[in-house]
Amino acid sequence: MINLPHLSGNSFLLGLSSEKLEEFALQEGEKAFRGRQIYEWIYQKGVKDLDSITVLPKQWRDSLQSKGIKIGRLEKINRVVAEDSTLKLLMGTLDGEIIETVGIPTDKRLTVCVSSQIGCPMGCRFCATGKGGLNRSLDVNEIVDQVISIRETMNRKPTHVVFMGMGEPLLNIRNVLDSIKCLTNEVGIGQRKITVSTVGIPNTLPNLAKLAQERLGRVKFTLAVSLHAPNQHLRELIIPSASSYPINSLLKDCKQYIELTGRRVSFEYILLGGLNDQDIHAEQLANLMRGFQSHVNLIAYNPIAEENFERPSKYRVNRFRELLEKRGTAVSVRASRGRDKDAACGQLRRQEIDKMKIK
């Protein structure tokens, strides 16, 4: 018996494999090849509704629709393109919520930054998404559709996916892992080119390793931990949820994750001007990274209206990087993209919600 993702009385086919769609067709009293036809039209042709799959018998299409079965695509509400060609899409869910996803192109790659939740409960002070709290987690179809929608809108196949949009992926880990499986097998994006980012949830990383091995086989995606501070006091100031997850415990769990998966961990570090970007902070961070199979990504802060944090100078960014390199820490600086079009996660969504409130 195929259990379809469902929301507001409807069930969705997007996210199912060819084998599962064949089972679904047989369950409906149709031939297995009908499931393969649905698969082709969803993943290769990108149809948005069952009526568009004209190779299916109309009587069956009508029957499926009467049962509330849909493909499960999102509605495109708005699109914004920055000067550097970064694309941000706002999309509506069936229950009237709004999510955002970003397409980040370069000459050789197209990275899709996807959301895993509507809003976020973590409350990180530098992030616009968390200011409104958490509404709900996204289903598999809603996550996968973000990648398909970027592919359609930019008319280009995505090469990489990063779970760094709205939400905390480890609070929706089963749907995130099932989405990775679908993106790998059905959309054609290698698991090694997928990154899952987390700010850290107590007692989850070892379980994540085991669950990922169960659902995906060998774990090949990259885990990125949002550290953002080199000591517990400063981390609690930036990330309130860190008060329940000491930095030493987080790093201990990261080491156990590495042992279980054989995959290195990346650490994300947002540089906040005058707060966590000083020489002493670089030295402390390098000490934390000593002996780790890891990599540090430095990110210059993108300002949001609700906080008075400052963007660091180019000198401070380069100085911080150089100090880490001198101490043997693998490090890179992530270039800011789309800064002229509300690049910080959650900003465009909040603006759209504010407009709707005014109306």
Q: What is the pLDDT of residues 217-266, one digit of tens each?
A: 989 999 999 999 999 999 999 999 999 999 999 999 999 999 999 999 99
Residues 113 and 223 in one domain: yes
Instruction: Give yes or no for residue 64 having a pLDDT over 60.
Output: yes
Predicted pLDDT at 347: 58
Q: Per the domain annotation, does 1 fall within a domain?
A: no
Residues in the chain: 359
Give catalytic status of residue 100 as yes or no.
yes
What dihedral do alpha carbons 263, 181, 44, 109 form, nearest 10°? -20
Burial of 262 (0-12, 13-18, 19+ CB in 10 A): exposed
Residues 43 and 154 in one domain: no
pLDDT band at 358 (very low <50, low <70, confident <90, very high): very low
Residues 92 and 44 in one domain: no
Q: Where residue 177 sits, what CATH number does that domain have?
A: 3.20.20.70
Q: Per the domain annotation, does 142 fall within a domain?
A: yes
Domain that holds residue 64: 6-70
Question: Mean pLDDT, to the nearest integer, of 9-33?
Answer: 95
Give residue-wise pLDDT tens across range 106-125: 999 999 999 999 999 998 98
Decide: 16 and 43 in contact? Cβ < 8 Å.
Answer: no
pLDDT band at 293 (very low <50, low <70, confident <90, very high): confident
Predicted pLDDT at 170: 97
pLDDT band at 130 (very low <50, low <70, confident <90, very high): confident
Choose one of 53, 70, 87: the last residue of a domain: 70
Choose one of 22, 42, 70: the last residue of a domain: 70
Nearest to 180 by CA among 22, 46, 10, 17: 17
Catalytic site residue from 120, 127, 254, 345? 345
Choose one of 47, 70, 93: the last residue of a domain: 70
- Count of the separate structural domains present in the chain: 2
Residues 255 and 319 in one domain: yes
Decide: 198 and 163 in contact? Cβ < 8 Å.
Answer: no
Q: Per the domain annotation, does 303 fall within a domain?
A: yes
Catalytic site residue from 100, 168, 186, 268? 100
DSSP 94: T
